Amino acid sequence: MLVATVLVFIMHLGFASLEAGFVQRKNTVNILFKNAMIIAIGLLTYYFVGFNLMYPGYNEGGLIAFSGFGLSMPEGTAGAIDYADGGYTYYTDFIFQAMFAATAATIVSGAVAERIKLEAFLIFATIFVAIFYPITGFWKWGSGWLETAGFYDFAGSTIVHGVGGFAALAAVIVLGPRSGKYTKNGIRPIPGHSMPLAAVGVFLLWFGWFGFNGGSVLSADPVSVSLVFVTTSMAAAAGAVGAFFTAFMLFKSHDLSMVLNGILGGLVGITAGADVMSPGEAIIIGLIAGVIIPISVVFFDKRKIDDPVGATSVHLACGVWGTLAVGIFGSKAGWGQLWIQLYGVAAVGAFAFTTAFGLMYLLKKTVGIRVPKEYEERGLDISEHEMHAYETSSERSEYNLTIK
């Protein structure tokens, strides 16, 4: 479990690299700053509030419960050898789940990149990770009402990725698109500055996903863990292939960004049922997730929903698909299960979207969420951080002039 925790932590390096690669050069420091702060905020808020909101230890079948601030290690063997039937300790449980918590805010980070105020985003991330994510997590993983209803989400296609994806969609709608993205002449592409960095990020995420899904077995059972490793990898590979062919049919080009997001789409898609699928079924799920990626990107773009990294397509669209796939494939397949999966997605999505929309709208009306247009044109690195990710002689002169 602790090795899996380390792998999930590495995913935050993957998110940082991916998002940095997909944004413009002038916004690299800003996106890295947000990713560094998100993991810090996630760990601290999960310590103070989140863990006991998500796993309060009572009110089974309920909507919400809270067992107090901070951590309280059970005395004696209750928090050690007797905890979780001897599978892991109380502190292991906390740190593993804490690594998951910040992921939801990281998903939002990429979607709102290049035009949101830093302080507004950090306030949003703090409240969302501290309160809203743990509440929906309790519904399923904390033995809340979705668990009682029979909803199944092994490692978080909806509980983690869907929550982040719906929140990202709400935030983008309130925030609006980047300046010049949608014109009267059509959609203007704003490419990221480093595809190598984005590719490194995806491979780091795939690597970390072995901990994300493998650790969710919650034991070192060799059959279960090895099955999850295989289904996770097969879905990711199939996602790349599905995105490759679909993107070529739509755009008549070999788009690396689509293939990279296809890998992530396959990973998100299999996460809900990685332990109940055969390798063949995982390939089908990943392949469909890969097909969804380019179609979803076009869908959102046509509706002027500007998402620089494709977070809504990867985490929302593929998260919904992966959750519904539990009712179609694998050992839990059936019309009854499919209905429960749909019901659960709708409930979690409605809660995540409305709370994120309300929070972002409140911030818009109070502290403001959008940087001035001149900041956006100049870049957030120099405007908000007074530094560049890659400093040239001309940029060094501009920085010195700004300081003077």
Asked, for residue 386, whether it belongs to a domain, the answer is no
pLDDT at 233: 98
pLDDT at 304 over 90: yes
pLDDT at 398: 55
| 3-state SS record for 206-225 | HHHHHHHHHHHHCCCCHHHH
> CB neighbours (10 Å) of residue 403?
7
Asked, for residue 383, whether it belongs to a domain, the answer is no
Contact 168, 107 (CB under 8 A): yes
Asked, for residue 169, whether it belongs to a domain, the answer is yes
pLDDT at 260 over 80: yes
* Residues composing the chain: 404
Separation between Cα atoms, residue 108 and residue 28, nearest integer Å: 16
Residue 363, domain extent: 2-58+65-370
Q: Which two tokens stand for residue 305?
A: 């929903």
Asked, for residue 280, whether it belongs to a domain, the answer is yes
Mean pLDDT of 279-307: 97
Q: Which amino acid is at 176?
A: G
pLDDT at 144 over 90: yes
Contact 378, 26 (CB under 8 A): yes
Mean pLDDT of 275-292: 98
Mean pLDDT of 191-198: 96
CA distances, 230 to each of 124, 277, 327, 360 (Å): 36, 10, 20, 39
Separation between Cα atoms, residue 381 and residue 271, nearest integer Å: 35
Q: How far is CA 143 from the centre of its chain?
A: 22
Q: What is the CATH number of the domain that holds 76?
A: 1.10.3430.10
Q: Which residues pair with 370 in a beta bridge?
A: 116
Backbone phi and psi for residue 306, each to the nearest 5 degrees, phi listed first: -90, 115
Separation between Cα atoms, residue 317 and residue 177, nearest integer Å: 19
pLDDT band with cut points at 50, 70 and 90 for residue 184 = confident
> CB neighbours (10 Å) of residue 398?
15
Contact 170, 353 (CB under 8 A): yes
pLDDT at 103: 87
Separation between Cα atoms, residue 312 and residue 248, nearest integer Å: 21
Q: How far is CA 238 from the centre of its chain?
A: 20
Asked, for residue 390, whether it belongs to a domain, the answer is no
pLDDT tens figures, 100-133: 998 888 999 999 999 999 999 999 999 999 999 9
pLDDT tens figures, 336-394: 999 999 999 999 999 999 999 999 999 999 999 999 999 999 999 999 999 999 976 55
What dihedral do alpha carbons 19, 262, 160, 23 form, nearest 10°?
10
pLDDT at 303 over 90: yes
Asked, for residue 402, whether it belongs to a domain, the answer is no
pLDDT at 26 over 60: yes
Q: Which residues pair with 182 in a beta bridge?
A: 187
Contact 389, 21 (CB under 8 A): no
pLDDT at 397: 56
CA-angle at 54, arms to 102 and 68, nearest 5°: 110
Largest CA distance in the chain: 69
Domain tally, the chain: 1
Q: Which amino acid is at 206?
A: W
pLDDT at 395: 56
Asked, for residue 389, whether it belongs to a domain, the answer is no
Q: Which two tokens stand for residue 176?
A: 């609006």
Closest CA to 192 of 206, 178, 207, 175: 178
| Arithmetic mean of pLDDT over the chain | 95
pLDDT band with cut points at 50, 70 and 90 for residue 75 = confident
Asked, for residue 54, whether it belongs to a domain, the answer is yes
pLDDT band with cut points at 50, 70 and 90 for residue 17 = very high
Q: How far is CA 210 from the centre of its chain?
A: 16
